[in-house]
């Protein structure tokens, strides 16, 4: 999957040893640096020839009217899209007035490194100029984790063996509205093909200039976003260090600011230019106020010193790895990719600070910078168990969205709150309701993440003050959306939820989607239990909640009753849980005989074609088996997995991690490892051919879950910490850290033992394969293991499904949609002579 000559294995660094323009979009994503608030794509400082010259600030967006081909009441009316912030990455180098251009340069040495221990991107080149001069250029780029609004870029140029004039041109550019390094509109070299996952572009001016000025070596560009009204200010300062003589020239216009340093470089005497950049944004503060904030940021950084910022960054990273690292012994290739994925989670969430975690983090414009359910199901577990503060911040984002979610529920004639499927500002931005708004399960996903966070941390203060509002309002929606079915005697028998879409977007707007019903049941029970415990343990917080939400105690009884009666689909004939009420009535899509040229399906078949078949974009029932595994038996998990795995395309990057976890649990050990590798190299190997649009943050979060919950066997159902490991046969050991209610637990799994070493803190109770244990703070407990669970060879196949029959006795058959397939069927029908009930 990866050219290891160009990208060698290194457990702590992502290294590129040769420049190539062939995959520049992918390398821009995988070498991006960010902190959750600010992100800089891995564009080269020369500032030309990129897939996407991107600088992104979390939540910094424009709005626009959604134009539906056919309008209907309640459809999303206003879209939101991430705005490409002014670009400060450009630091162009000229020697003898010849520019360094990587595409044509004679490079004797090239190395680009993202060091995961220091949080710094570096690039070193040895360039032979057209006149034969040897030049060494070293570049550094960092987005600070400690200073939310700060980015630092530094270039050092040394001419070797000869004197030469050197120019370093540092620029700020408004690329959103079409400026390139020369101040003009860039030429689009090729048009990308259709891909619904890619962000739309704006055709009108987006950033309206508010301020642009320079003061000595400091440059300022500030803007207001045309329709959303958001504001941004970019302030850049420059520090020059050299023993060479130099002069400075500046230029500032509304969309470009230049600080140009002209140096008379002596042989072997370096010149270093450091650019300090501060980004500040707001939903309503005037741009001038943001300029003042940026100036204060840079004044403080200059007083502290640039070197100190790099020291703080390295110390921050060391602390992050101490509480977050996962060690796969003996497999450096996997180790490198694992650490890269975990680092992406830090870059996406560390300084989100009450904002959401976009699907692409701050590494690209894919999915328009929107927040999805990805955060709660795939990213929050990592945050809650390694850095709980980040998880709390992400959950507060949902709490702050409650007013808009209540409004949205009202538009859809429901009570409570309905969180948007995709959003930045809290309003629904999904124009395709069937695979968007209809995914009501996002309500339960958010409540599930809230419960997981509270159980892992014991943070009842957050639950009682803000989290309970989420639990109550989401529960109210389920009792409004669902309905009761009554028996012949008029007594309530079962509770149903119709007209929804589950995680599998290849099956939309169905009745009794199993995942939705199972998760809604959890949501209802969690809300009922929370308010009752508050009434008993925190009466004042309960009183305030009841007053704030107009809560009636009878609501909790209704929630509990609906949960207990929730209909969970089950097929007696096949012995499996159907994905929804009619899923098994559809024909089976023969994935094994679907050519790769027709994958992914969403790019080659109309949705209506896909909707008519049993075929999955991503794990649906299987995800329910993992998240709510305490409600399914081991036997049920096995038969469900064996039925659905051959039907799952994996067209979604969210799928492989879940399939890996369940494959490991039910015994398909080799298959689990195969799925794990698929998820691990989603971006580094560009397995879905869209890594150029940004990192798949949820998949990176899923990698952690696959390691800890899949191979590491950790579960936390009902807030009880349990372990049942499934270590791959050729892994000597797996080590990870969990933070359980304030106590750090370092867990080591080998073929014969599970070891838990506790840091300072309260004792922790846990169980291993049903046997209870307890570890005190500062102590270590070793538990012997008898094997790694059941072992099953190969993988489930479609052929096994084809032998099964539906409830009505009809035989399941698999096929690939083909307009010519009807002709042999007609011939077969012609050969059959039979009387129908009407005599025909």
Please list the rounded mean pLDDT of every run of 10 residues in the chain (840 residues). 95 98 97 98 95 97 93 94 98 97 96 98 98 97 98 98 97 92 58 53 90 97 98 98 98 97 98 98 97 98 97 98 98 98 98 96 97 97 98 98 98 98 97 95 98 98 98 98 87 92 98 98 98 98 98 98 97 95 95 93 95 96 98 98 97 97 98 98 97 98 98 96 98 98 98 98 98 98 97 91 77 83 44 49
505 a catalytic residue:
yes
CA-to-CA distance for 384 and 449, rounded, in angstroms?
Answer: 9
Helix and strand numbers, DSSP H then E, in the chain: 22, 33
How would you class 89 by CB atoms within 10 Å of its CB: exposed for 0-12, middle for 13-18, buried for 19 or more?
Answer: buried
Sheet with 55-57: strands ordered across = 33-34, 38-40, 55-57
Burial 461-495 (b: 16+ CB within 10 A, else e): ebbbebbbbbbbbbbbbbbebbeeeeeeeeeeeeb
- Among candidate residues 484, 388, 502, the one with its CA nearest the CA of residue 444: 502
How would you class 829 by CB atoms within 10 Å of its CB: exposed for 0-12, middle for 13-18, buried for 19 or more?
Answer: exposed
CA-to-CA distance for 608 and 586, rounded, in angstroms?
Answer: 13
Q: What pLDDT sits at residue 180?
A: 80
CA-to-CA distance for 631 and 644, rounded, in angstroms?
Answer: 18
- Among candidate residues 472, 364, 353, 351, the one with its CA nearest the CA of residue 409: 472
- Among candidate residues 360, 461, 470, 395, the one with its CA nearest the CA of residue 692: 360
Considering the candidates 505, 555, 642, 665, report the single residue annotated as catalytic: 505
Torsion of CA 829, 830, 835, 839, to 10 degrees: 110
Q: Kindly give the residue spans of alpha helices, DSSP state H, lying in 175-286.
A: none
- Among candidate residues 426, 85, 142, 42, the one with its CA nearest the CA of residue 280: 85
Q: Kindly give the residue spans of alpha helices, DSSP state H, lying in 467-510.
A: 468-481
pTM: 0.95
Count CA atoms closer than 13 A to 371's CA, side-chain side: 32
Q: What pLDDT sits at residue 49?
A: 87
Beta strands 134-143 and 734-740 are unpaired
- Among candidate residues 308, 279, 271, the one with its CA nearest the CA of residue 143: 279
């Amino acid at each position: 999957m990866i050219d290891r000559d160009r990208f060698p294995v290194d457990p702590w660094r992502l290294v590129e040893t040769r420049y190539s323009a062939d995959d520049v979009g992918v390398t821009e994503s995988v070498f991006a640096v960010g902190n959750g608030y600010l992100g800089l794509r891995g564009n080269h400082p020369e500032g030309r020839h990129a897939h996407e010259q991107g600088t992104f600030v979390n939540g910094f967006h424009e709005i626009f009217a959604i134009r539906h081909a056919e309008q209907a009441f309640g459809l999303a009316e206003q879209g939101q899209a991430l705005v490409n912030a002014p670009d400060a990455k450009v630091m162009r180098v000229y020697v003898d007035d010849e520019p360094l251009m990587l595409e044509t340069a004679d490079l004797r040495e090239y190395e680009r490194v993202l060091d995961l221990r220091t949080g710094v991107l570096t690039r070193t080149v040895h360039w032979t100029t057209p006149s034969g001069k040897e030049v060494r250029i070293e570049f550094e780029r960092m987005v600070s984790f400690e200073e939310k609004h700060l980015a630092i870029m530094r270039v050092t140029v040394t001419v070797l063996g000869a004197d030469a004039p050197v120019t370093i041109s540092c620029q700020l550019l408004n690329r959103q509205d079409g400026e390139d390094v020369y101040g003009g509109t860039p030429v689009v070299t090729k048009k990308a093909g259709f891909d619904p996952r890619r962000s739309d572009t704006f055709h009108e001016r987006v950033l309206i200039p508010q301020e642009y000025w320079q003061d000595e070596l400091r440059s300022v560009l500030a803007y207001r976003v045309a329709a959303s009204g958001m504001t941004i200010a970019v302030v850049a300062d420059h520090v020059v260090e050299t023993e060479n003589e130099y002069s400075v020239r500046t230029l500032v216009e509304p969309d470009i600011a230049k600080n140009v340093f002209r140096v008379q470089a002596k042989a072997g005497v370096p010149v270093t230019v450091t650019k300090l950049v501060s980004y500040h944004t707001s939903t309503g503060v005037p741009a001038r106020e943001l300029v003042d904030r940026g100036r204060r940021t840079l004044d403080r950084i200059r007083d502290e010193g640039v070197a100190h910022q790099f020291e703080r960054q390295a110390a921050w990273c060391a602390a992050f790895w101490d509480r977050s690292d996962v060690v796969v012994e003996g497999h450096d290739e996997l180790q490198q990719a694992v650490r890269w994925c975990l680092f992406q989670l830090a870059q996406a969430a560390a300084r989100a600070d009450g904002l959401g975690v976009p699907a692409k983090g701050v590494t690209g414009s894919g999915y328009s910078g929107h927040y999805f359910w990805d955060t709660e199901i795939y990213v929050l577990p990592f945050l809650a168990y390694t850095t709980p503060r980040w998880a709390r911040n992400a959950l507060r984002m949902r709490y702050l969205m409650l007013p808009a979610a209540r409004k949205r529920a009202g538009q859809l004639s429901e009570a409570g709150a309905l969180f948007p499927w995709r959003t930045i500002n809290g309003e629904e931005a999904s124009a395709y309701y069937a695979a968007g708004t209809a995914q009501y399960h996002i309500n339960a996903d958010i409540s599930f993440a809230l419960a997981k966070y509270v159980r892992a941390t014991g943070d009842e203060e957050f639950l009682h003050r803000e989290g309970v509002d989420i639990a109550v309002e989401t529960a109210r929606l389920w009792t409004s959306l669902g309905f009761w079915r009554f028996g012949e005697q008029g007594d309530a028998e079962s509770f149903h939820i119709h007209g929804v879409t589950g995680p599998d977007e290849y099956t939309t707007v169905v009745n009794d989607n199993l995942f939705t019903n199972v998760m809604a049941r959890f949501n209802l029970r969690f809300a009922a239990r929370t308010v009752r415990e508050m009434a008993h343990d925190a009466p004042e917080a309960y009183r305030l909640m009841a007053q704030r939400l107009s809560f009636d105690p009878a609501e909790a009884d209704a929630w509990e009753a609906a949960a207990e009666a929730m209909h969970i689909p089950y097929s007696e004939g096949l012995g499996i849980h159907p994905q929804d009420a009619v899923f098994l009535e559809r024909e089976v899509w023969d994935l094994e005989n679907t050519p790769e040229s027709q994958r992914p399906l969403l790019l080659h078949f109309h949705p209506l074609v896909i909707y008519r078949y049993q075929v999955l974009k991503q794990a649906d029932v299987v995800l329910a088996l993992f998240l709510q595994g305490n409600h399914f038996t081991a036997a049920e998990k096995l038969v469900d997995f064996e039925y659905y795995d051959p039907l799952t395309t994996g067209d979604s990057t969210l799928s492989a991690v879940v399939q890996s976890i369940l494959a490991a649990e039910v015994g398909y050990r080799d298959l689990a490892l195969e799925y794990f590798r698929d998820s691990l190299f989603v971006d580094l190997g560009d397995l879905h051919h869209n890594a150029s649009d940004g990192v798949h943050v949820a998949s990176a979060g899923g990698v952690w879950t696959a390691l800890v919950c899949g191979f590491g066997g950790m579960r936390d159902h009902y807030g009880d910490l349990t372990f049942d490991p499934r270590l791959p046969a050729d892994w000597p050991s797996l080590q990870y850290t969990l933070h359980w209610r304030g106590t750090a637990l370092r867990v080591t799994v080998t073929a014969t033992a599970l070891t838990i070493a506790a840091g300072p803190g309260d004792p922790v109770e846990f169980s291993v394969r049903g046997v209870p244990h307890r570890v005190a703070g500062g102590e270590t407990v070793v538990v012997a293991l008898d094997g790694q669970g059941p072992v099953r060879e190969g993988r489930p196949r479609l052929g096994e499904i084809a032998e099964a029959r539906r409830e009505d006795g009809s035989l399941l058959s698999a096929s690939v949609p083909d307009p010519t397939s009807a002709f042999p069927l007609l011939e077969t029908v012609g050969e059959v002579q039979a009387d129908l009930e009407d005599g025909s």
